[in-house]
Structure 1
Amino acid sequence: MKAEYGNWNESKWQPVREGIDRVVLGLTAETMSCTVAECKSGNEVKPHSHPNEQIAIILQGTCDYYVDGTPYAMKPGSWIVVPANVEHYIHVYDSKEPVLNLDIFAPNRPEYTESFKKFLSQQE
Protein backbone atom coordinates (compact mmCIF):
# COMPACT_ATOMS: atom_id res chain seq x y z
CA MET A 1 0.00 0.00 0.00
CA LYS A 2 1.21 3.48 -0.85
CA ALA A 3 1.27 6.04 1.98
CA GLU A 4 -0.61 9.30 1.60
CA TYR A 5 1.44 12.39 2.45
CA GLY A 6 1.43 16.12 1.86
CA ASN A 7 2.17 19.59 3.20
CA TRP A 8 -0.62 21.87 4.42
CA ASN A 9 1.44 24.93 3.45
CA GLU A 10 1.18 23.78 -0.17
CA SER A 11 -2.53 22.95 -0.06
CA LYS A 12 -5.57 24.99 -1.00
CA TRP A 13 -7.39 26.32 2.09
CA GLN A 14 -11.14 25.74 2.20
CA PRO A 15 -13.24 28.62 3.56
CA VAL A 16 -15.40 27.34 6.43
CA ARG A 17 -17.04 30.53 7.75
CA GLU A 18 -16.06 34.15 8.43
CA GLY A 19 -12.47 34.18 9.70
CA ILE A 20 -11.84 30.41 9.46
CA ASP A 21 -10.24 28.40 6.64
CA ARG A 22 -9.07 24.77 6.83
CA VAL A 23 -7.15 21.96 5.23
CA VAL A 24 -8.23 18.35 5.79
CA LEU A 25 -5.27 16.00 6.18
CA GLY A 26 -5.08 12.26 5.58
CA LEU A 27 -8.06 11.90 3.26
CA THR A 28 -7.53 8.14 3.09
CA ALA A 29 -7.61 7.57 6.88
CA GLU A 30 -10.47 5.28 7.85
CA THR A 31 -10.83 5.63 11.62
CA MET A 32 -9.79 9.22 12.35
CA SER A 33 -9.80 12.69 10.82
CA CYS A 34 -7.30 15.52 11.11
CA THR A 35 -7.60 19.17 10.09
CA VAL A 36 -5.54 22.33 10.33
CA ALA A 37 -7.59 25.51 10.62
CA GLU A 38 -6.47 29.10 10.34
CA CYS A 39 -8.61 31.24 12.63
CA LYS A 40 -8.35 35.02 12.42
CA SER A 41 -9.18 37.60 15.09
CA GLY A 42 -12.90 38.29 15.05
CA ASN A 43 -13.74 34.84 13.67
CA GLU A 44 -17.41 33.88 13.59
CA VAL A 45 -18.02 31.98 16.83
CA LYS A 46 -20.07 28.81 16.39
CA PRO A 47 -20.79 26.77 19.52
CA HIS A 48 -21.39 23.15 18.48
CA SER A 49 -21.04 19.55 19.52
CA HIS A 50 -20.56 16.26 17.66
CA PRO A 51 -20.31 12.56 18.48
CA ASN A 52 -16.55 12.56 17.85
CA GLU A 53 -13.86 12.91 20.50
CA GLN A 54 -11.49 15.72 19.57
CA ILE A 55 -8.03 16.85 20.53
CA ALA A 56 -7.34 20.49 19.60
CA ILE A 57 -3.72 21.65 19.49
CA ILE A 58 -2.69 25.29 19.05
CA LEU A 59 0.33 25.60 16.75
CA GLN A 60 0.40 29.41 16.41
CA GLY A 61 -1.38 32.41 17.93
CA THR A 62 -3.53 32.86 21.03
CA CYS A 63 -7.21 32.24 21.68
CA ASP A 64 -9.80 31.11 24.16
CA TYR A 65 -11.13 27.64 23.59
CA TYR A 66 -14.49 27.07 25.26
CA VAL A 67 -15.51 23.58 26.36
CA ASP A 68 -18.83 23.12 28.17
CA GLY A 69 -18.96 26.87 28.83
CA THR A 70 -15.49 27.12 30.39
CA PRO A 71 -12.87 29.23 28.57
CA TYR A 72 -9.31 27.89 28.37
CA ALA A 73 -6.55 30.37 27.45
CA MET A 74 -4.55 28.73 24.64
CA LYS A 75 -1.17 29.57 23.13
CA PRO A 76 1.31 27.67 20.94
CA GLY A 77 1.79 24.20 22.39
CA SER A 78 -1.54 24.20 24.25
CA TRP A 79 -3.89 21.28 23.70
CA ILE A 80 -7.31 20.32 24.99
CA VAL A 81 -9.45 17.19 24.82
CA VAL A 82 -13.08 17.77 23.86
CA PRO A 83 -15.29 14.84 24.89
CA ALA A 84 -17.94 13.56 22.49
CA ASN A 85 -21.25 15.47 22.49
CA VAL A 86 -19.91 18.41 24.56
CA GLU A 87 -20.47 21.96 23.29
CA HIS A 88 -17.25 23.79 22.36
CA TYR A 89 -15.85 26.54 20.14
CA ILE A 90 -12.75 28.63 19.46
CA HIS A 91 -12.72 32.41 19.98
CA VAL A 92 -9.84 34.39 18.50
CA TYR A 93 -10.13 38.02 19.55
CA ASP A 94 -6.70 39.56 20.20
CA SER A 95 -4.09 37.38 18.53
CA LYS A 96 -1.17 39.16 16.88
CA GLU A 97 -1.22 36.46 14.20
CA PRO A 98 -3.86 34.02 12.94
CA VAL A 99 -4.30 30.97 15.13
CA LEU A 100 -3.26 27.67 13.55
CA ASN A 101 -5.33 24.95 15.19
CA LEU A 102 -4.68 21.24 14.59
CA ASP A 103 -7.76 19.08 15.27
CA ILE A 104 -7.74 15.30 15.57
CA PHE A 105 -11.10 13.51 15.58
CA ALA A 106 -12.06 9.91 16.36
CA PRO A 107 -13.97 8.32 14.87
CA ASN A 108 -13.45 9.93 11.49
CA ARG A 109 -15.50 12.80 10.08
CA PRO A 110 -16.41 11.68 6.55
CA GLU A 111 -18.36 14.92 6.01
CA TYR A 112 -15.07 16.85 6.31
CA THR A 113 -13.29 14.54 3.88
CA GLU A 114 -16.09 14.68 1.29
CA SER A 115 -16.46 18.45 1.60
CA PHE A 116 -12.71 18.99 1.18
CA LYS A 117 -12.48 16.63 -1.81
CA LYS A 118 -15.34 18.51 -3.48
CA PHE A 119 -13.66 21.85 -2.70
CA LEU A 120 -10.36 20.65 -4.23
CA SER A 121 -12.08 19.36 -7.37
CA GLN A 122 -13.68 22.79 -7.89
CA GLN A 123 -10.24 24.45 -7.70
CA GLU A 124 -8.88 22.59 -10.74
Structure 2
Amino acid sequence: MTKPSALQDIPIKNTIAGHYGRFVHGDKSTLAFWEITAGSVSPIHQHPHEQITYIAEGTFEMELDGRKYVLQQHDTLVIPPNTLHGGRAVVDCKIIDSFSPARDDYRF
Protein backbone atom coordinates (compact mmCIF):
# COMPACT_ATOMS: atom_id res chain seq x y z
CA MET A 1 0.00 0.00 0.00
CA THR A 2 1.27 3.47 -0.83
CA LYS A 3 0.57 6.77 0.85
CA PRO A 4 -1.23 9.68 -0.86
CA SER A 5 0.84 12.32 -2.69
CA ALA A 6 -0.08 15.90 -3.46
CA LEU A 7 0.36 16.53 -7.18
CA GLN A 8 2.57 19.56 -6.55
CA ASP A 9 4.94 17.35 -4.50
CA ILE A 10 5.63 15.01 -7.45
CA PRO A 11 8.79 16.14 -9.28
CA ILE A 12 8.33 17.61 -12.77
CA LYS A 13 10.23 15.83 -15.53
CA ASN A 14 10.97 17.32 -18.94
CA THR A 15 10.54 14.38 -21.34
CA ILE A 16 10.83 16.23 -24.67
CA ALA A 17 11.08 19.92 -25.52
CA GLY A 18 8.12 21.80 -24.05
CA HIS A 19 6.60 18.72 -22.36
CA TYR A 20 6.70 18.73 -18.56
CA GLY A 21 5.13 15.81 -16.74
CA ARG A 22 4.38 14.50 -13.28
CA PHE A 23 3.89 10.72 -13.18
CA VAL A 24 2.00 8.46 -10.80
CA HIS A 25 2.78 4.76 -11.23
CA GLY A 26 0.87 1.71 -10.13
CA ASP A 27 1.81 -1.87 -10.82
CA LYS A 28 -0.33 -1.98 -13.98
CA SER A 29 -0.86 1.63 -15.06
CA THR A 30 0.62 5.13 -15.17
CA LEU A 31 -1.18 8.45 -14.85
CA ALA A 32 0.64 11.41 -16.43
CA PHE A 33 -0.14 15.07 -15.72
CA TRP A 34 1.36 17.17 -18.53
CA GLU A 35 1.97 20.88 -18.92
CA ILE A 36 2.83 21.49 -22.57
CA THR A 37 3.91 24.87 -23.89
CA ALA A 38 2.29 26.35 -26.99
CA GLY A 39 3.90 25.21 -30.22
CA SER A 40 5.59 22.17 -28.65
CA VAL A 41 5.47 19.03 -30.78
CA SER A 42 5.11 15.42 -29.75
CA PRO A 43 6.69 13.58 -32.69
CA ILE A 44 4.77 10.73 -34.34
CA HIS A 45 5.48 7.59 -32.31
CA GLN A 46 3.92 4.40 -31.04
CA HIS A 47 4.17 2.28 -27.90
CA PRO A 48 2.66 -0.96 -26.60
CA HIS A 49 0.52 0.90 -24.04
CA GLU A 50 -3.14 1.78 -24.41
CA GLN A 51 -3.37 5.54 -23.82
CA ILE A 52 -6.40 7.60 -22.88
CA THR A 53 -5.91 11.35 -23.26
CA TYR A 54 -7.97 14.04 -21.53
CA ILE A 55 -7.53 17.74 -22.33
CA ALA A 56 -7.84 19.60 -19.02
CA GLU A 57 -6.94 23.00 -20.54
CA GLY A 58 -6.02 24.31 -23.96
CA THR A 59 -6.14 23.04 -27.53
CA PHE A 60 -4.03 20.17 -28.84
CA GLU A 61 -3.86 18.99 -32.46
CA MET A 62 -3.50 15.21 -32.41
CA GLU A 63 -2.69 12.92 -35.31
CA LEU A 64 -3.84 9.36 -34.72
CA ASP A 65 -3.23 6.65 -37.30
CA GLY A 66 -3.13 9.24 -40.11
CA ARG A 67 -6.25 11.18 -39.01
CA LYS A 68 -6.04 14.66 -37.49
CA TYR A 69 -8.16 15.80 -34.55
CA VAL A 70 -8.35 19.16 -32.80
CA LEU A 71 -8.87 18.41 -29.13
CA GLN A 72 -10.32 21.13 -26.90
CA GLN A 73 -10.81 21.41 -23.16
CA HIS A 74 -12.68 18.35 -21.79
CA ASP A 75 -12.18 16.27 -24.95
CA THR A 76 -10.92 12.70 -24.66
CA LEU A 77 -9.24 10.35 -27.11
CA VAL A 78 -8.44 6.64 -26.80
CA ILE A 79 -5.17 5.63 -28.46
CA PRO A 80 -4.92 1.87 -28.98
CA PRO A 81 -1.61 0.08 -28.37
CA ASN A 82 0.97 0.21 -31.18
CA THR A 83 -0.91 2.96 -33.07
CA LEU A 84 1.03 5.84 -34.61
CA HIS A 85 0.19 9.16 -32.97
CA GLY A 86 1.65 12.57 -32.14
CA GLY A 87 0.60 16.18 -32.00
CA ARG A 88 1.17 19.84 -31.27
CA ALA A 89 0.01 22.20 -28.55
CA VAL A 90 -1.85 25.06 -30.25
CA VAL A 91 -1.81 27.01 -26.97
CA ASP A 92 -0.42 26.15 -23.54
CA CYS A 93 -2.08 22.88 -22.51
CA LYS A 94 -2.69 20.78 -19.45
CA ILE A 95 -3.29 17.17 -20.43
CA ILE A 96 -3.88 14.03 -18.39
CA ASP A 97 -2.88 10.70 -19.95
CA SER A 98 -3.52 7.26 -18.57
CA PHE A 99 -1.37 4.38 -19.78
CA SER A 100 -1.81 0.65 -19.38
CA PRO A 101 0.36 -1.25 -18.76
CA ALA A 102 2.51 1.04 -16.63
CA ARG A 103 5.08 3.21 -18.44
CA ASP A 104 8.30 1.91 -16.92
CA ASP A 105 10.19 4.26 -19.27
CA TYR A 106 8.72 7.18 -17.28
CA ARG A 107 10.06 5.86 -13.95
CA PHE A 108 13.10 8.14 -13.84
- For normalisation by structure 1, the TM-score amounts to 0.79
1:48 aligns with 2:40: no
Alignment of 1:68-79 (within 5 A): 68-79=65-76
- SS of 2:106's partner is helix
Alignment partners' CA distance in 2, 1:104 and 1:36: 9
Q: Distance in 2 between matches of 1:33 and 1:92?
A: 22
Whole-angstrom distance in 1 between the partners of 2:66 and 2:54:
19
Counterpart of 2:85 (choices 70, 88, 91) is 88
5+ residue gaps, structure 1: 116-124
Match of 2:13 in 1: 14
* Alignment gaps of 5+ in structure 2: none
Q: Which residue of 2 aligns with 1:106?
A: 100
Q: Which has the higher helix share?
A: 1
Return the alpha-carbon distance in structure 2 between the equivalents of residues 67 and 33 of structure 1: 20
Please give the secondary structure, in 2, of the residue aligned with 1:46.
Answer: strand
Deviation at 1:5, TM superposition (A): 2.0
Structure with a larger share of its residues in strand = 2
Residue correspondences, number: 108
CA distance in 2, matches of 1:48, 1:42: 18
The structure whose Rg is larger is 1
SS in 2 for 1:9: helix
Q: CA deviation at 1:7?
A: 2.6
The answer for the alignment partner of 1:30 in structure 2 is: 27
Please, what is the CA RMSD of the aligned residues?
Answer: 1.4
Compared CA separation, residues 90 and 8, structure 1 to 2 (3 A) = farther
Identity across the alignment (%): 23
